[in-house]
């Protein structure tokens, strides 16, 4: 039995490793998981190391072994990689040990190269080949071959040079690596990688309210009506259609237009006030249709190559069946009444938050998980989770693991605009994607700093960003006052900086910028009323959206976030960055100023990409080709026409 004190090799600073292995890192099927570690030992002995990996499931297969390579000898940095080909969980460990044979061979080579007598070293080598450090189960033919080589090395009648040459024969090193007992091996703790489908990393989301999808002003639409919108959304190149809650809407304290506390008899209310006499989270709002109508809606979307993402909002209207059947699942005031939701100074009298610490929480948690299972059984595989940061961490870890046990291909998006540590913790707990601070990052310095954080370890190993350019809750001042160019700029930034992005559809297409003064709230918000959108009205940017999504699908470089690199530009209003993947290299230059044309010099890091003195770049947005130099290149971008260049680089 080998004690820890006998293990001379140290394995530390492993990547990916989340909180010492407490949480799984993330990958997608088909990815190559890059593993890095600092591996070292005392003294001058040669260290050897390898990577072992396998699927982690009840029927776990045998470990696959791959050698680790030294990336930086001076810093003891080692690296390797393994491929993950299917969704599920994988695990890997690292092993390190003192390679006795390599240490001996290294010393022999140095002495022999210096012209010194190495007869004693050859005797030591022969002892190594025969010695007790061979595996007990080593094949007999291998041992016989090694015994013969040992006899040759110690035979003083043979020329010393020939014996040295035989000792340093790569074939001998290979056989010793196969049969040698490694002795006191250091083994890292197993680390887990959660592998999801590609849509968890690369997707384009389109959000719209089905009830506002009518082609007739003043008339609310049903799910059957809203199907007519799906072909246009597919044509624009989106692959995820996100629907705000489609469940029955409560009547009690129903909100009116512009969040008014008094609603008329025809006001539809907020979809987030879930639950009425018609049912709760497993039902469809009667004004939209039925479960069969939803199934048909989803079937049509899938036929067009898109998926439906449903909103998973864990709150109830006062009319929700849970309130009547399980009052213990809600917090009560001293007078016995149930507390409605508040975010001072805002009050949400139409919503009761759920008490996740209820004495009956075991039954409560199971019921809430059953909501996801219910919709997953109907084919839904993507859920946008409303305000997950206001619910217990433990609940989400339990729920996500439980859902994945039955439906491993389900994707969860966290709508959590909150503190960085909280957002990151949700990613560690299993959320596939997360909303971000992108909406509030506008300057070159802000965008560079934020994307560097998101695209580097350790954050990139557990948190995948989804850059929504707007939401029904957020119409940023930049969009309110930047005009049509602002919408173009933010679209281009969202779709190229991040592999996943989204827009709250019709308002964004139409560059809708009307907000209550001093707020980020839309005037006449769809959250409280039915809107009619004329998507063909002049000034819409549907054409640009279509072009950008096509370019994203055609270029692997835009299907990842971690591959971003920022480069110098002489103008602080111009953001210059590159993305490269599998030989696909893009230079992306965006004018951040929606009001004025900006110009400047772009510094190309040619050695980084192996570019010649001059090379061709093709603008994917304008179908033009330019000759660039591998040093500085002048660019002028007018936001009134096109605020960006998306340049495909040709190395020929």
What percent of the chain is helix, strand and coil (3-state, nearest 5)? Answer: 35, 30, 40
What is the Cα–Cα distance from 510 to 577, expressed in whole angstroms?
Answer: 28
Q: How many CB atoms lie within 10 A of CB 82?
A: 19
Q: At which residue do the structure tokens 């033919």 appear? A: 141
The torsion region of residue 289 among left (phi > 0), alpha (psi -120 to 50) and beta comes to left
| Contact (CB, 8 A) for 600 and 569 | yes
Compute and round to an integer the Cα radius of gyration of the chain: 31
**C-alpha–C-alpha distance, residues 97 and 8, integer Å:** 7
Q: What is the C-alpha to C-alpha distance for residues 334 and 342, in angstroms, rounded to an integer?
A: 17
Whether 415 is catalytic is yes
DSSP class of residue 638 equals: B
At residue 58, the 3 state secondary structure works out as coil
Question: Measured between alpha carbons, how far is 105 from 180 in angstroms, rounded to an integer?
Answer: 14
Catalytic choice (285, 319, 415, 461): 415
> Cβ neighbours of residue 248 under 8 Å, at least 6 residues apart?
274, 275, 276, 277, 278, 279, 280, 283, 284, 285, 286
Distances (CA, A) of 601 to 389, 571, 642: 43, 7, 18
Structure tokens at 376: 């997953």
In angstroms, rounded to a whole number, what is the distance separating the alpha carbons of residues 424 and 458?
Answer: 10
Closest of 390, 391, 412 to residue 400, by C-alpha: 412
H/E element, 574: strand 574-581
Q: State how far the alpha carbon of 293 is from the alpha carbons of 222, 227, 283, 562, in Å.
A: 9, 10, 11, 40
Query: Token digits for 304?
Result: 């067009």
Catalytic residue, candidates 386, 512, 526, 593: 386
H helix or E strand, kind and range, residue 89: strand 88-98
Active-site annotation, residues? 386, 415
């Amino acid at each position: 039995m080998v004690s820890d004190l006998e293990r001379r090799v140290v394995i530390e600073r492993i990547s990916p490793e989340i909180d010492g292995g407490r949480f799984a890192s993330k990958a997608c099927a088909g990815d190559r998981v890059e593993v890095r570690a600092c591996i070292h030992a005392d003294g001058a002995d040669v260290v050897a190391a390898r990577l072992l990996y396998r699927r982690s499931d009840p029927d776990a297969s045998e470990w696959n072994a791959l050698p680790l390579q030294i990336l930086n000898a001076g810093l003891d940095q080692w690296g390797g990689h393994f491929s993950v080909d299917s969704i599920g969980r994988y695990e890997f460990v690292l092993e390190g040990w003192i390679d006795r044979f390599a240490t001996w061979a290294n010393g022999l080579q140095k002495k022999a190269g210096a012209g010194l007598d190495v007869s004693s070293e050859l005797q030591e080598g022969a002892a190594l080949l025969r010695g007790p450090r061979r595996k007990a189960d080593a094949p007999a033919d291998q041992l016989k071959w090694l015994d013969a080589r040992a006899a040759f090395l110690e035979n003083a009648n043979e020329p010393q040079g020939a014996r040295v040459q035989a000792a340093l024969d790569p074939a001998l090193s290979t056989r010793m690596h196969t049969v040698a007992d490694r002795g006191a091996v250091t083994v890292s703790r197993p680390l887990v990688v959660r592998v999801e489908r590609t849509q968890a990393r690369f997707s384009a989301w389109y959000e719209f309210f089905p009830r506002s999808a009518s082609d007739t002003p003043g008339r609310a639409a049903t799910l059957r009506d809203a199907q007519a919108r799906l072909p246009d959304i597919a044509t624009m190149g989106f692959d995820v259609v996100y629907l705000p809650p489609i469940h029955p809407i409560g009547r009690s304290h129903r909100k009116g237009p512009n969040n008014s506390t008094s609603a008329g008899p025809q006001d539809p209310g907020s979809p987030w006030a879930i639950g009425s006499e018609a049912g709760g989270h497993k039902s469809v709002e009667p004004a939209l249709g039925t479960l069969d109508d939803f199934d048909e809606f989803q079937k049509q979307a899938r036929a067009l190559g898109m998926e439906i993402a449903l909103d998973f909002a864990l709150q109830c209207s006062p009319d929700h069946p849970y309130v009547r059947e399980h009052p213990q699942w809600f917090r009560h005031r001293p007078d016995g009444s149930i507390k409605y939701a508040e975010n001072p100074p805002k009050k949400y009298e139409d919503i009761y938050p759920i008490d996740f610490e209820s004495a009956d929480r075991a039954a409560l948690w199971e019921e809430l998980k059953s909501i996801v299972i219910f919709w997953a059984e109907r084919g839904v595989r993507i859920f946008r989770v409303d305000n997950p940061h206001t619910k217990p961490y433990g609940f989400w870890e339990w729920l996500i693991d439980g859902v994945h046990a039955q439906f491993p291909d389900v994707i969860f998006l966290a709508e959590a605009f909150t503190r960085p540590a909280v957002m990151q913790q949700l990613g560690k707990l299993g959320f596939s994607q997360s909303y971000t601070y992108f909406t509030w990052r506008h300057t070159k310095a802000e965008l560079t700093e934020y994307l560097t954080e998101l695209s580097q370890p350790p954050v990139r190993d557990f948190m995948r960003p989804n850059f929504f350019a707007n939401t029904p809750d957020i119409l940023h001042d930049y969009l309110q006052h930047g005009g049509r160019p602002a919408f173009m700029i933010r679209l281009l930034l969202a779709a190229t900086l991040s592999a996943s992005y989204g827009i709250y559809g019709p308002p964004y297409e139409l560059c809708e910028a009307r907000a209550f003064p001093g707020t980020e709230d839309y005037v006449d918000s769809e959250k409280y009323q039915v809107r009619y959108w004329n998507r063909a009205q002049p000034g819409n940017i549907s054409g640009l959206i279509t072009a950008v999504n096509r370019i994203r699908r055609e270029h692997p470089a835009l299907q990842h976030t971690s591959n971003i690199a920022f480069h110098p530009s002489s103008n602080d209003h111009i953001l210059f960055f590159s993305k490269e993947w599998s030989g696909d290299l893009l230079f992306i230059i965006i004018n951040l100023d929606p009001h004025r044309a900006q110009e400047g010099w772009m510094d190309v890091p040619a050695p980084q990409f192996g570019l010649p003195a001059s090379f061709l770049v093709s603008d994917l947005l304008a179908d033009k080709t330019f000759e660039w130099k591998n040093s500085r290149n002048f660019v002028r971008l007018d936001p009134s026409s096109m605020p960006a260049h998306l340049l495909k680089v040709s190395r020929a």
